[in-house]
Chain A
């Protein structure tokens, strides 16, 4: 069955450092991968989408890579700030079936200490 893993349940880093979160998947060939931010008791907020034919995507301090050979995506937050503290979810999708149907990982809780 399809499986999606995010490297760790929690990640603690110092303010100003780069946070790197990992998303690995098996038994699946997604057409695209998305990253979301979720704050406690709130719904996820979309951050970035990267397609299978794209290696890297950037948005302000965020960078996402997608390696379909390794079946892995890396999510980087540079110059991290305490306000970046949240749970980050990766989600895989394809173009078949229901439009926008996504499979979510459990998320990694990032804590940025001042």
Chain B
């Protein structure tokens, strides 16, 4: 089956630093990748949608200059949280789709803790 990996699985950083999270589709080409954020006992909230080779589309209320998304290839998308603050601490999950399928394949998530 389609597998999506994320790296790192968890990260702790100091306030003000930047953190990069990678999302890879291991055995398929992902035409579209999504980035979600999930707070405890809350639903997944879509942050942005990215298509390979084009700029990401951000959801309302998500700062594009703070959450930089790069989708340079059909198998890799990165999310960089710039100047992270404690309120950015959350579970970040990516997903990917391929072709016309509506099924999203999710990565295992990255737990970010900003001190």
Residues of A within 8 A of B (CB): 4, 9, 32, 34, 36, 41-46, 49, 89, 93, 98-107
Which of B46, B105, B107 is A102 in contact with, Cβ under 8 Å? Answer: B46
Chain A residues positioned under 8 Å from B108 (CB to CB)? 42-43
Assess the B43–A106 pair: CB atoms within 8 A: yes
Nearest B residue to A100 by beta-carbon distance? B97
Assess the A102–B43 pair: CB atoms within 8 A: no
Nearest A residue to B34 by beta-carbon distance? A100
Assess the A105–B102 pair: CB atoms within 8 A: no
Nearest A residue to B111 by beta-carbon distance? A41
Central interface residue in A89, A93, A98, A107, by most chain B CB within 10 Å: A98
CB B57 to nearest CB in A, in angstroms, measures 6
Assess the B106–A100 pair: CB atoms within 8 A: no
Residues of B within 8 A of A (CB): 4, 6, 31-32, 34, 41-46, 49, 57, 91, 93, 95, 97, 100-109, 111
Central interface residue in B44, B45, B101, by most chain A CB within 10 Å: B44
16 A-B residue contacts at CB 8 Å?
A: A32-B102, A34-B103, A43-B6, A43-B108, A44-B106, A46-B105, A99-B97, A100-B32, A100-B103, A101-B46, A101-B49, A102-B46, A102-B104, A104-B43, A105-B43, A106-B42
CA distance A45 to B107 in the complex (A): 9
Which of B41, B49, B95 is A43 in contact with, Cβ under 8 Å? Answer: B95
Chain A residues positioned under 8 Å from B95 (CB to CB)? 43-44
Chain A residues positioned under 8 Å from B111 (CB to CB)? 41
Nearest A residue to B95 by beta-carbon distance? A43
Nearest A residue to B102 by beta-carbon distance? A100
Assess the B93–A49 pair: CB atoms within 8 A: no
Chain A residues positioned under 8 Å from B91 (CB to CB)? 41
CA distance A99 to B95 in the complex (A): 12
Central interface residue in A45, A93, A102, A105, by most chain B CB within 10 Å: A102
Chain A residues positioned under 8 Å from B106 (CB to CB)? 36, 43-46
CA distance A102 to B93 in the complex (A): 14
CA distance A32 to B108 in the complex (A): 24
Nearest B residue to A39 by beta-carbon distance? B108
